[in-house]
Every structure is written in structure tokens, then in C-alpha cells.
């Protein structure tokens, strides 16, 4: 399969940026978070797995609306209604799989991408060897409860009160409010900030992010406010790795419950890892991922 970047044309006429790294007969398709984020924390995944003694072709893409792919005019209500939906992004994964020509592959998704993994494994599981849910809950209420606990522990009481005041008034751009968001990001989302993935301008597709998430990682005001996949976890039949950071925005108690509810799942956690624990503690994160893939490949996977 062609290495490097390929622009694929979807059946709807839009174009997506894709990139393939690594060699071998094992295929891993990586989904980014956000929604509206980019592929960039997956860029060294093939290298990291090779360090673990595993040759894997890693396929990445930026979802529709994200920085490197086409960005529809979401100001048009008809376009927004058609493409800013769970169903669109789920079926986009399947179309990308078809366009790349891969089957019997592994699917990994971070955060929002982890929600897509849950949905894809339940609907299109016949195409998968295994699923990896990285830092994503099955029920958003667990997340919002936990994230409020996190900020109450991380910030002084007066700072939390100030944040809640600004959230109630919708004053998301307030400088002091954003300074507290930065503190929480530094502690629980991006604990390491490698220069290689920094940019002079923001690469976040805010039109997509705002519709699903809201203004920031710590308050959910968009469509994800209704996210609840708990009753459908039983429909995920393929071997599944649930992997969370031990110092992040997502609650570990939920990860433990998910690993029990999915018929064939195991849980692996990353010490000193925040929400982006594939960067914060790459050796441990990729050891867990390589071990999972190796066990599935050798038919030795145990829950």
C-alpha cells in the first residue's frame, strides 16, 4: 500500500487527507478526537509499535471539517444538518476503510474517536480484528461528574466559582476563565506539549467542535451532552482494549465498568498519562497496544 499522504474523494464529493506509515500485513486505522481535532498525535504510531517489535501499517485521516481535509460551509443549515451528525461520522469511517482498501483491521480512536470506535465495532464489527477505545466513556454523565470533581481538586474554590459564573453567562472568551482552562489542560489533557505538533495558529475545527462538545473540554454543551452507548456495549463482539490515562479527564471507574460490559475486553491504564497519554507516556501506552495486537494475532487474547 502507498506510503505517505493520499487525498481521497468521498462519494459526497468532499476530500479527506489520509496518511499511511509503516509496513506489514497488520493494519491499524486511527481516529482523532475533538470532534474537529487532527491526526497528529498518531503520526509516530507506526514507529512506536516498531520499537515494540511489531510491524504495523498505520492509516490516519482528518475527518470532514478538520484542518487538513475539506471544510464544508457549516454556516449553511442544510450542510450542517447533513454532516454534523453521529451517523455521518460513523459511516465516514466505513467509507474511508473502503477507499483505503483495508479489511480485517484494528480500529483505534482517541476521545471522540473512541466514541466512533464503539459505534463502528457495534455496527461494522465484521470488518474488525480488534477495537481500541482510547480515553472515551460510554456515558457522558460519568465524564461531566468526574470533570467537575477534577477541577474542584485542581483549582481553588474561588476559581471554580468564577468558572461556573462565566459558564452560566456564556462568557467563554473571558481571559481569566481561559487561564483556568489552561491550568486544567496542562494538568489533565496535554501534560506534555511536544514542539513537533505545535502550530502558529489553532488547527481545531471550532465549527465542528462547538456543535458536539462546546467551548472547551471541561463543559459539554453540544450534542455529546446526550452521548450514552452503555446499553449497546454488549454488541461489541470483537476483542477490545480499553485504555485510559491515570491522570486525565475521563474517569477510570467508567473504564473498569466498560471493560466488564464489553464481552471480550481488557483494560490497560497509563501512569502519568493525561487525556493524550499516547504522548505523555508513549513507551507504556504503546507497550499496551502492541501486547493487545500481538495477543489477538496469535489467538491468545484473554479478557
**pLDDT by residue for the chain (303 residues), tens digit each?**
789 999 999 999 999 999 999 999 999 999 999 999 999 999 999 999 999 999 999 999 999 999 999 999 999 999 999 999 999 999 999 999 999 999 999 999 999 999 999 999 999 999 999 999 999 999 999 999 999 899 999 999 999 999 999 998 989 889 999 999 989 888 888 888 777 778 888 899 999 999 999 887 778 889 999 999 999 999 999 999 999 999 999 999 999 999 999 999 999 999 999 999 999 999 999 999 999 999 999 999 887
Q: How far apart are CA 43 and CA 255, in angstroms?
A: 25
Q: Is the dihedral of CA 107, 58, 45, 293 positive or negative?
A: positive
The predicted pLDDT at position 45 comes to 98
Check residue 199 and give its pLDDT.
87
> Residue 187's pLDDT is what?
86
The cell numbers describing 267, all together, are 483494560
**Helices within 35-172 (DSSP H only):** 45-51, 77-83, 86-100, 112-124, 140-154, 157-169
Question: Could you give the CA distance from residue 239 to residue 130 in angstroms, rounded to a whole number?
Answer: 5
Calculate Rg over the CA atoms of the chain: 19
Amino acid at each position: 500500500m502507498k506510503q505517505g499522504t493520499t487525498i481521497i474523494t468521498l462519494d459526497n464529493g468532499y476530500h479527506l487527507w489520509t496518511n499511511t506509515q509503516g509496513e506489514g500485513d497488520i493494519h491499524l486505522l486511527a481516529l482523532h478526537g475533538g470532534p474537529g481535532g487532527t491526526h497528529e498525535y498518531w503520526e509516530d504510531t507506526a514507529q512506536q509499535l516498531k520499537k515494540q517489535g511489531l510491524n504495523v501499517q498505520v492509516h490516519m485521516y482528518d475527518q470532514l471539517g478538520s484542518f487538513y481535509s475539506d471544510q464544508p460551509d457549516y454556516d449553511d443549515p442544510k450542510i450542517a444538518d447533513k454532516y454534523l451528525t453521529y451517523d455521518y461520522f460513523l459511516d465516514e469511517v466505513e467509507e474511508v476503510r473502503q477507499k483505503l482498501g483495508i479489511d480485517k483491521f484494528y480500529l483505534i480512536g482517541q476521545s471522540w474517536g473512541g466514541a466512533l470506535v464503539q459505534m463502528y465495532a457495534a455496527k461494522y464489527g465484521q470488518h474488525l480484528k480488534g477495537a481500541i477505545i482510547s480515553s472515551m466513556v460510554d456515558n457522558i454523565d460519568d465524564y461531566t461528574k468526574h470533570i467537575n470533581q477534577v477541577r474542584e481538586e485542581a483549582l481553588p474554590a474561588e476559581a471554580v466559582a468564577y468558572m461556573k459564573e462565566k459558564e452560566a453567562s456564556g462568557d467563554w472568551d473571558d481571559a481569566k476563565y481561559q487561564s483556568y482552562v489552561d491550568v486544567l489542560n496542562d494538568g489533565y489533557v496535554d501534560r506534555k506539549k511536544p514542539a513537533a505538533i505545535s502550530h502558529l495558529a489553532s488547527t481545531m475545527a471550532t465549527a465542528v467542535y462547538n456543535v458536539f462538545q462546546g467551548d472547551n473540554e471541561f463543559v459539554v454543551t453540544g450534542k455529546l451532552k446526550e452521548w450514552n452507548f452503555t446499553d449497546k456495549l454488549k454488541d461489541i463482539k470483537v476483542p477490545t482494549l480499553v485504555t485510559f490515562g491515570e491522570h486525565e479527564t475521563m474517569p477510570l471507574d467508567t473504564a473498569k465498568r466498560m471493560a466488564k460490559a464489553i464481552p471480550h475486553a481488557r483494560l490497560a491504564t497509563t501512569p502519568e498519562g493525561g487525556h493524550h497519554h499516547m504522548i505523555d507516556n508513549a513507551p507504556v501506552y504503546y507497550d499496551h497496544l502492541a501486547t493487545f495486537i500481538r495477543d489477538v494475532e496469535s489467538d491468545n487474547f484473554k479478557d
